[in-house]
Structure 1
């Protein structure tokens, strides 16, 4: 391969603009024995990438059975949602009951005041009858 071409490819490689084919050319160049002396410092890097690609993981990894957390999370979510709705309805009912009790108290006070006012109307009726008697006797 031409040395100028390799230097351009190296420059593109470090700028992260090379294609896969260009990277393979660089790996092929640095895997051979006759590398230019000023480019020998890159040989271990490309050799490492080649070795890394050939490396395989051979140890057995015991797989544990997958626990079904999603099922329990959904059960908990339904429980929280149901509890929230129940508490909300309970608070609404309690507020309605308190409002009804307040309304009942207010109506009781209004009723008491109306009844005491109605008892005074009886005195006014007697006063009017007496006044009418006085005026009728005077006019006659």
Structure 2
């Protein structure tokens, strides 16, 4: 009877379904000297768990390291280099950006740019013309649905 219970607990253990109390019962059973031969494999496994549970880590862990100190100074140096780079780039950016003094010339340039943008947009919308054909196809499908509904009504009346 006890052996059947242990085998059932082992099956639950292998499936990961045991409770802590059931695992404790298995550890207790396999810590005894007389274990059946077909369960000897499990004895060494549970003995390992018992030994590893009693192990204690006694070494001191260094919480402050020299490596952390180095990373701190590298990050400070990187921030200084970035700030210097931003300052240097902003001090040299006082160049002419292509402004127009003559309002008529500026108006002509804007008109030319907007005409080019309009032309490119019209090219893009001309390729979408096939969507109208898709809409016509979906309208045809709606007629087919009406036909299907009518045939379902006819067949329902014939069944009754």
- TM-score, with length taken from structure 1: 0.55
Distance 1:69 1:16, change over 3 A: farther
In 1, Cα distance between the equivalents of 2:87 and 2:11? 68
Q: How much does 1:76 deviate?
A: 2.7
Match of 2:62 in 1: 63
Q: How much does 1:74 deviate?
A: 3.8
How many positions carry a matched residue from both structures? 99
The answer to whether the aligner puts 1:27 opposite 2:27 as a matched pair is: yes
Cα deviations across residues 25-81 of structure 1 (Å, max 9, x unaligned)?
1111100122222212210111111111122345x4473743334532441342143
How is 1:70-109 mapped onto 2 (pairs within 5 angstroms)? 71-93=72-94, 97-99=95-97
In 2, Cα distance between the equivalents of 1:69 and 1:21? 50
Distance 1:19 1:76, change over 3 A: farther
Task: Write 1 or 2 for the structure with the bigger share of helix.
Answer: 1
* Larger-gyration structure (1/2): 1
Q: Which runs of 5+ in 1 are unaligned?
A: 108-140
Q: Which runs of 5+ in 2 are unaligned?
A: 103-160
Q: What secondary structure sits across from 2:17 in the alignment?
A: coil
In 1, Cα distance between the equivalents of 2:16 and 2:6? 15
In 2, Cα distance between the equivalents of 1:18 and 1:39? 18
Distance 1:5 1:65, change over 3 A: same
Distance 1:71 1:37, change over 3 A: same
Q: What secondary structure sits across from 1:92 in the alignment?
A: coil
In 1, Cα distance between the equivalents of 2:14 and 2:77? 52
